[in-house]
Structures are given as structure tokens and as C-alpha cells.
Structure 1
Amino acid sequence: QTLIRKPMKALNRTIRLVLPLLRNRYVIAILAFIIWIGFFDQNNLLERYELSQRIKELERQKIHYQQEINSNKQRMQELQSDPENLEKFAREQYLMKKPDEDIFVVIEE
């Protein structure tokens, strides 16, 4: 009996404290505003969080692609500056050959 009454007394005490607040129209208006902004508004908090996560992912991709662009520019500069590098690149990437050569493609696993 006493084990059941203690939680009930605490619940009754909480209800007695909260009930007058819920009758106050300003508190109701503030709660409605918070709920509206949190869930129903066009720019609600859930969508803002998802959009911020998407922005972070896109920024990571941007950094990756910028690094890739820089490495490709460096590679292009090397190819344009040295004809031997250009010939090596053409042979490796496009399997180009001289008329009297044979090509053997070795695929490493």
C-alpha cells in the first residue's frame, strides 16, 4: 500500500504544480509557438538539422573534388612540360604504340 501511495503523491504534487501553468494563456501560447516552430513550420528544426547535415556532406565532397582538380592540374602541367611524360601517359592510359611495337597488358589482382 505505501509503495503505491508514494509515487501517487509525487504525481499528484506534480499535477498540482503544472495544472495552473496550463491554464495560463501565455504559457499555452508559448508552448503552441514552440511546437509550431519545432515541427510544423516550413523551416522547422528537424528540416534545419537535415539540411545542415547535407551541407556538411557537400562541403566534404567539395574539398575532395578540389584536391582532385589540383592533382589533375599538376599532372596536366607535367604532361605539357615534358614530351617523355606525355608519351608515357599515352602509352599507359590509351594503349598507344609505335608501329613496330606489340603491347602486352598485365592486370594486377
Structure 2
Amino acid sequence: MQTLLRRLRNFYVATALVLLTWMTFFDANDLPSQIRNWWKLRELEGDAAFYEGRIKDIRRERREVLGNDRLREKYAREKYLMKKPTEDIFVIVDENNEPLEK
């Protein structure tokens, strides 16, 4: 009787090990794929948070600029260095070739 129980136990242990090995390395949803997907998800969530912040900033700037003609002109001059046809613009830069005023 004990040899039968021992054989059955060995059979179940072996079957469980084979199944675990199969699920870990050979299945379509194996462990390395799950880990890669988890890291990719974290990366994409970080990107989404960054772009949501950028969208919020751009919407805020847009509300500020579109509401006032003076602000629209100021924004165009500062961001895109636009000028009137009759004027000259001089941009003072530092040693890194960045404008001094931001």
C-alpha cells in the first residue's frame, strides 16, 4: 500500500513540476513575457503622465494667450521671435547660446 501511495505522490510531484516548468518558460504567457510586459506598462504609464502634464500646460498657455491681444503679441514675440516689419530684434545669449530671458 505504501509503495502505491509513494508512486502516486511521485507522479503528482512530477506532473506538477512539468506543468510549472511549462507555464514558466514555454507557455504564451510565460514568466519572462509577463515581466517584460510589466516593465513596458510602467514605462508607458510614465510617458502618459508626462504627456498629460504637457497637455495641461499647453491648455493653460492657450487660455492665457487667446484671451488677450497684447498677450498674444507678447507670446509670439517671445516664443517664436516674431517681429513687425519695421523693427529690428537683438537677442542676447549666454555662453551656451541660450537667451538670457526665458
TM-score range relative to shorter protein: 0.7 to 0.9
Moved over 4 A (4+): none
> In the alignment, residue 104 of structure 1 is paired with which amino acid?
F
Distance across 2 between alignment mates of 1:92 and 1:107: 14
1:3-46 Cα deviation digits (max 9, x unpaired) = xxxxxxxxxxxxxxxxx78x811111100000000111110011
Distance across 2 between alignment mates of 1:64 and 1:29: 47
1:4-83 equivalences in 2 (<5 Å): 24-83=10-69
CA RMSD of aligned residues (A): 1.7
Higher helix share goes to which structure?
1
Which ranges of structure 1 fall in alignment gaps of 5 or more residues? Answer: 1-19
Distance across 1 between alignment mates of 2:85 and 2:10: 93
Query: TM (normalized to structure 2)?
Result: 0.79
Which ranges of structure 2 fall in alignment gaps of 5 or more residues? Answer: 1-5, 97-102
Does residue 102 of structure 1 match 2:92? Answer: no
Query: TM (normalized to structure 1)?
Result: 0.74
Cα displacement (A) at 1:63 = 0.7
Task: Find the structure with the greater CA-based Rg.
Answer: 1
Fraction of identical pairs, as percent: 37
How many matched pairs? 89
